Amino acid sequence: MPTLIAEKTVKLEFEDLAKRVSLLTRPKTPPTRTPGVHLSGVLAYIAQKIGVLKLGERDEYEFPLLWGLGQAWEEYAASFYPDMDWQPGELTLDGVSMTADGLSLDLDSEFDGVPWEPVQVILEEFKFTFKAEVDGDTFIKDPRFWMWRMQAAGYCHGYGPRVARFRVCHVRGDYKTAIMPVYKEYILRYSDREVAQAWMMVQSHKHLAAAEKGAA
């Protein structure tokens, strides 16, 4: 299980909107997806087998409209962080392809007063979801976020970081107070062992996932 470093609710103000920058690396057309096995597909297969997804249940991002809204959130939020290497490019390792949302450099040794060991590279992941806002302890344990955590572990294996920051838009907040969108950050640290174990799991299921997809 990864370690929670910090969590934060991001409060955007109207003056922040003026600080947005153009995403110069945005392609004119969506990049071509490499044929074959993808990390997201393998994790969805495993999630159904272990009960994280119910039989026949689809992940949010399998619905085109929700996937599009997720892309819109990613591009909008990324425009606030001009120093981030947004969309660093697809990787294929051991027959599994993956595409991280971004990489950032030189994370400070303190986050809202919480000290930590400085890191040189951090994985950035943007999520748009109808899942309720949670506290950080729940985020690292709740099965609803299992696929996100494992996806980040796979990206850590491929791109090299061991710290992942999830920039999440919880569309309905916590479903308890004012039901409004909440922008929440969760920052997790993975050990080398956790990353290696996650990748072994992916490797042991990639052929089964590919075979099931081919039979569908």
What kind of fold does domain 3-16+37-215 have according to CATH? Lambda Exonuclease; Chain A (3.90.320)
Residue extents of the structural domains in the chain: 3-16+37-215
Q: Note the pLDDT of residue 113.
A: 57
The pLDDT value recorded for residue 182 is 95
Report how far residue 90's alpha carbon sits from residue 152's, in angstroms, rounded to the nearest whole number: 14
pTM: 0.89
User: What are the Cα distances from residue 69, in Å, to 61, 81, 123?
Assistant: 9, 19, 21
Confidence band of 214 (pLDDT split at 50, 70, 90): low
- Contact by Cβ (8 Å): 61, 70: yes
Q: pLDDT band at 216, cuts 50/70/90?
A: very low
Express each pLDDT in 9-41 by its tens digit.
999 888 988 888 887 766 666 667 778 899 999
